[in-house]
């Protein structure tokens, strides 16, 4: 992912790509091995997206949006729940009895989160920020996704400055692990 435009356009395009991956997963029968490959791809994209939001979007929401702190905290809680689900999925193959239930849970968590962001957070941020600020945030989010982790790390910090300091190193290790294992290449 990495598309251009302001932060809202960038993140909305990410949402659309994840929705398409979810549809691809739903079209395959239970136990199909390609479902695991697609879930790995979704996880990679969601983790990169979440890390970028946590580093740049939510701090901007706190700074610019009235009552933004509470809104950002709610979004972070939703990220934490989805990250725990992704961590459980990481240890499951497509034929694992828990796999389908965890996939359904992740899809529900993400679809609810996306709907809320697009209906509530994004319009409030657009109203509170200049076009230039939104473009700058888009650039920062794109940069953050390039070095972000690709695997869930539920215990990792989710707020600056610690997340901005640790994410690139963890991301490098994750990408090396992905390269060695082939994870994320089969989609």
Q: What is the pTM of this model?
A: 0.86
Q: Take residue 135 and report the two structure tokens written for it.
A: 């473009």
Write the pLDDT tens digit of every residue in 103-135. Answer: 999 999 999 999 999 999 999 999 999 999 999
Q: Take residue 125 and report the two structure tokens written for it.
A: 């941020």
**Does 60 fall in a domain?**
yes
**Does 2 fall in a domain?**
no
Write the pLDDT tens digit of every residue in 9-57. Answer: 999 999 999 999 999 999 999 999 999 999 999 999 999 999 999 999 9
The CATH number of residue 72's host domain is 1.20.120
CA dihedral 132, 138, 141, 142 (to 10 degrees): -130
Give the range of the structural domain holding residue 32, as residue numbers without chain letter.
Answer: 7-181
């Amino acid at each position: 992912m990495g598309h251009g435009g302001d932060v809202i356009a960038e993140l909305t395009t990410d949402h659309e790509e994840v929705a398409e991956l979810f549809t691809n997963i739903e079209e395959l029968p239970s136990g199909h091995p390609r479902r695991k490959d697609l879930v790995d791809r979704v996880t990679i994209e969601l983790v990169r997206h979440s890390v970028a939001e946590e580093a740049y979007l939510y701090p901007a929401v706190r700074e610019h949006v009235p009552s933004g702190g509470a809104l950002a905290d709610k979004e972070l809680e939703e990220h934490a729940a989805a990250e725990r689900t992704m961590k459980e999925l990481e240890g499951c193959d497509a034929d694992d009895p828990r796999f389908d239930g965890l996939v359904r849970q992740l899809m529900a968590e993400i679809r609810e989160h996306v709907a809320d962001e697009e209906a509530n957070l994004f319009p409030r941020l657009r109203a509170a920020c200049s076009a230039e600020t939104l473009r700058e945030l888009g650039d920062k989010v794109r940069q953050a996704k390039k070095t972000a982790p690709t695997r869930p790390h539920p215990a990792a910090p989710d707020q600056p400055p610690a997340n901005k300091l640790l994410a690139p190193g963890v991301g490098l290790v994750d990408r090396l692990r992905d390269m060695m294992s082939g994870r994320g290449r089969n989609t």
